[in-house]
Amino acid sequence: MGSVSSFFGALCGGETKKEEERLLRANDRAFNLSQQYAKNGIKTSKYNVFSFLPLNLFEQFSRLANAYFLFLLILQLIPQISSVPWFTTAVPLTIVLSVTAVKDANDDIKRHKQDKQVNNRLVKILLNGELREEKWMNVQVGDIVKLESNQFVTADLLLLSSSEPLNLIYVETAELDGETNLKVKQGLTVTGEMGDDIEALSAFRGEVRCEPPNNHLDKFKGTLTLDGQQYGLDNDKVVLRGCTVRNTEWCFGLVIFGGPDTKLMQNSGRTTFKRTSIDQLMNILVLCIFGFLATMCAVMTVGHAIWEEKEGSAFTAFLPRKPGVDVPLSSFYSFWSYVIVLNTMVPISLYVSVEMIRLGNSFFIDWDRKMYHPGKDTPAQARTTTLNEELGQIKYIFSDKTGTLTQNIMTFNKCSINGKNYGELYDFSGHRIEITEKTQRLDFSWNQLADPTFIFHDYSLLETIKEGNPEAQAFFRLLALCHTVMPEEKKEGELNYQAQSPDEGALVTAARNFGFVFRSRTPETITLMEMGQKVTYELLAVLDFNNTRKRMSVIVRDPEGKMTLYCKGADTIIYERLQPSCNKLKEVTTAHLNEYAGDGLRTLVLAYKDLEESYMGRWMERHHEVSTAMEGREEGLDELYEEIEKDLMLLGATAVEDKLQDGVPQTIEQLAKADIKIWVLTGDKQETAENIGYSCNMLREEMKDIFIVAANTADGVKEELQNARRKMCPGAAEEPTVIKARAGLLWLQKTQTVLDENVDGEYGLIINGHSLAHALGQDLELELLRTACLCKTVICCRVTPLQKAQVVELVKKYKQAVTLAIGDGANDVSMIKAAHIGVGISGQEGMQAVLSSDFSFAQFRYLQRLLLVHGRWSYIRMCKFLRYFFYKNFTYTLVHFWYAFFCGFSAQTVYDDWFITLYNTVYTATPVLALGLFEQDVNDRWSSHYPQLYSPGQLNKFFSKKAFFHSVMISCYTSLVLFFLPWAAMHDTVRDDGKDIADYQSFALLTQTCLLIVVSAQMFLDTDYWTAMNQLFLWGSLAAYIAITFTLFSNGLFFMLASSFPFIGWTPSLAQ
């Protein structure tokens, strides 16, 4: 029995074994097929011709609203229950399902076409000793493929050989991470020896053992076994699908992962779906409406039972009951009949209209020319269409500094070498001279390889270099050797550097102009031109930079055989690793660093270490062992790096300038007036961040105090936070007031809210990364939050990407306020995903932030228009739309409630059947849609000029439970008037000849006409901003009602379909 269940489980995919390690053999399709690895074809489409209808309908009816209306339709098909024709629900439901299905089908057809285009691309594969052109979808794991320049990479490949020296290839990774700068990949020397020899490649029988498919773009672990020898494989030896080969004539690669297993496809999963606070409130309100609907139906049922008992027997003579239908059963039928009649409290068109309004407002953001940046040819983009109104409710903004507030275009500005400061100009009396555009620049014409765009003014540094100062030369030699920059030299002497970060590009360019020109690199060498002399260094090891290490080192051997480790990194990290003999120099350099940071410059410290041959030999052996290990590779390498990066000798420090973006101070000032709190989360030094804070108008001299939290212990951090809080709010309680409540759908979500405290005056808070680590602990997080929220400005320095996300989560958890995070780099992605709304800036650090964001643009200053104009308008439009929508539908529905008291609670409808069908889909659909798309209380200029207009959104003033119940109460009153005035006007009314003129259809026509006029008049009163579309939709809807009503009651339709389209005054009794 177990084997049978296992068989069916495997058949249905229920017991798919998770891959723990991948083993493959080159040129051995039989073995690789036995492992059942995925082929290289991809499928991003969801449906095919046969599965579309059932799958799409299943997905649509999985939504609560659609399932509810399907349930109503089924009820309407039961004759004993329904007093409303089935088409009153079927027509709008069919329209909604059809529109959604057409949209889904169109999207899926596009995906099918894209899949077909990609799968049918051609690539050369090595099969049976010869190269053949095959479609991408036919490529399999273990195949060897040949790629040429400007060709897309077919699958995730292990690089074997290339046309470039030492197995180098250049790739562009724009499709993976958005970065357009070239990156270098390098194959193993042992495989590179095969070159483009087809016989050697066909005879290659290497065995690869590596990690299973995953989505880590920057990590890869594996080993290649060839002729009994093991070779370590890392990310530098793997070329990923999605890359494009550049500047490389040809290369060969071994397919490791194909199709859905590639890292590109593994990263194409859906991101977390974000919902707005209005969405969450609507879910709660819809549940309340369902409860209200059930209560009304219960009241009607009780009324029906009482009426049947007391009055119903009088009508049985000419309206006999059906056999077997007694009062209890009749009352049961009545309950479900009223569920059908009153269902329009939550109309199906509500959800469709909300999505259309959001989509339209997203297009307005995309089309806004005032948010287009011509320099980068980059428009604003709403990457998510479901969060527009949330932009009008932002209370906290969390911003990166570099590349977000600043331009991230670095220029080498100053440096400290062996205790001497360079970069300033002084006159004969020793006074500092201000450097302007007219100040004379250094002449680098003596250096034929100098960058003509490089600007420096201090001639003393150039003299020091030319005099042969050893420390100065070692300083620039380090800058020329310790980096990951790739050079391009299309013409002799015309060097172009491809840098992964602007900092590195600025430092290497500075070294180039001062005579230490980085000329070329291979996996084993780096070639410089040192003061006109060509020098080639053997590259022994590269100790990579990451956010934890915050430093980078290279180990090189010069032509004389001397081995040196060169290291650059953050001052706090390098200082911990210096020799004690550097203490005096460290004090002088620290003073210079503080001066640079005070000027808002970004700083790095440089150091070196001479290495012994014997120690280095042992270290390299251990390095090889660790780098080929499958388990614990990263930890082992970290230990080795820590061991060798000790007892360093200090050389000096660099300072590069990153200027503010245009309009940043003005934008921050306007956002502050809108009562939006801005927190800056940066990895820079405290002094640098503080200086930028003043430049941006975030920190101001008129502030009462600016608190700095820099303690190294939890107790110290607690004391500093408490002292700051007590000074700002002396009378506040020591323990915060935390209000616990329940929220969300069915009130299942537990919330904790820390109330805002009043503070007199403006304060600022600056907290360091090591202090923040303690403050984010469970014991101190509330103290941090209380103190920070009392301040107008908060700046967190030296923070890691994880800490950025933790700060955002802390505010979300305890403040119940809408948060926005904005950044431009990969280190901002976690913060962007954590916030309610993520904004990406397409800057110098690639597109990772943009790819993870909900909205994107090119400059920080556009945030003002996004929030104060588009966000505010979207919020007002959505709130007005919802208030009006609930008003018109409650008014329409409650007329049935009052009518029930005059029709024996029989679930008889007030309106004509076709009016019921068309009310929400034709007569009132377009005017309210125009309101949600075009409404403005003030124009964009006034919205920006008076930021205080933004505050109602933060307080949820325009749509809340209170506003909803206010709309319901007005609807109750309006429905009373709309029912009783026509009833009173027609009650006991007779013609001149004494006959009654009042009948059911006359009353229905009069009531529905009054209803439509009243709700249209309310729309007229609610609209502040009239456009041609508003006029067209409002008057057009009324004209459509008149035209359709005259048509429905016309002679022609009566003669053709007398049973469906009767004359006014016709009753079933007259036809019998």
Residues belonging to the active site: 400
Q: If you write DSSP's letter for every residue of 642-686 in order, what string do you get?
A: HHHS-SBEEEEEEEEEEEEPTTHHHHHHHHHHTT-EEEEE-SS-H
Say if CB 832 and CB 823 are below 8 A apart: yes
Which three-class secondary structure state does DSSP give residue 700?
A: coil
Residues 263 and 239 sit within 8 Å (Cβ to Cβ): no
Handedness of CA 123, 125, 130, 134 (dihedral sign): negative
Give the phi and the psi of residue 1066 in degrees, each rounded to 5: -75, 140
Of residues 933, 885, 1026, the one with CA closest to residue 348: 885
Long-range residue pairs from 631-637, CB within 8 A, at least 24 positions apart, any chain = 633/221, 633/232
Cβ neighbours of 629 (radius 10 Å)? 17
Q: Are 666 and 865 in contact (CB under 8 A)?
A: no
577 is written with which tokens? 């690793």
Q: Return the ∠ at Cα 161 (arms to 183 and 631), rounded to 5°.
A: 70
Rounded distance between C-alpha atoms, residue 55 and residue 53, angstroms: 6
d(CA 608, CA 478): 8
Which candidate, 400, 546, 417, places its Cα nearest to that of 476? 417
Name residues whose C-beta falls within 8 Å of residue 567's C-beta, 6 or more positions apart in sequence: 482, 543, 551, 552, 553, 574, 577, 606, 607, 608, 609, 645, 648
User: In angstroms, rounded to a whole number, what is the distance separating the alpha carbons of residues 662 and 376?
Assistant: 14
CA distance 632 to 472: 40
Long-range contacts of 807-811 (CB under 8 A, 24+ apart): 807/398, 807/679, 807/681, 807/772, 807/776, 807/831, 808/398, 808/834, 808/835, 809/834, 810/776, 810/781, 810/784, 810/785, 811/396, 811/398, 811/785
DSSP of 28-86, one letter per residue? -HHHHHHTT---S--------TTTHHHHHHHHHHTSHHHHHHHHHHHHHT-TTT-SS-T
Reading the block at residue 206, the tokens are 């290497």
**Angstrom distance (rounded) from CA 931 to CA 922:** 15
753 beta partners: 739
Identify the H or E element spanning 856.
strand 855-857
Both structure tokens of 461: 């540094």
Strand order in the sheet with 207-210: 22-25, 207-210, 222-226, 229-233
HEC readout, 400-458? CCCCCCEEEEEEEEEEEECCEEECCEECCCCCEECCCCCCCCCCCCCCCCCCCCCCCCC
**Cα angle for residues 58, 60, 66 (degrees, 5° grid):** 115
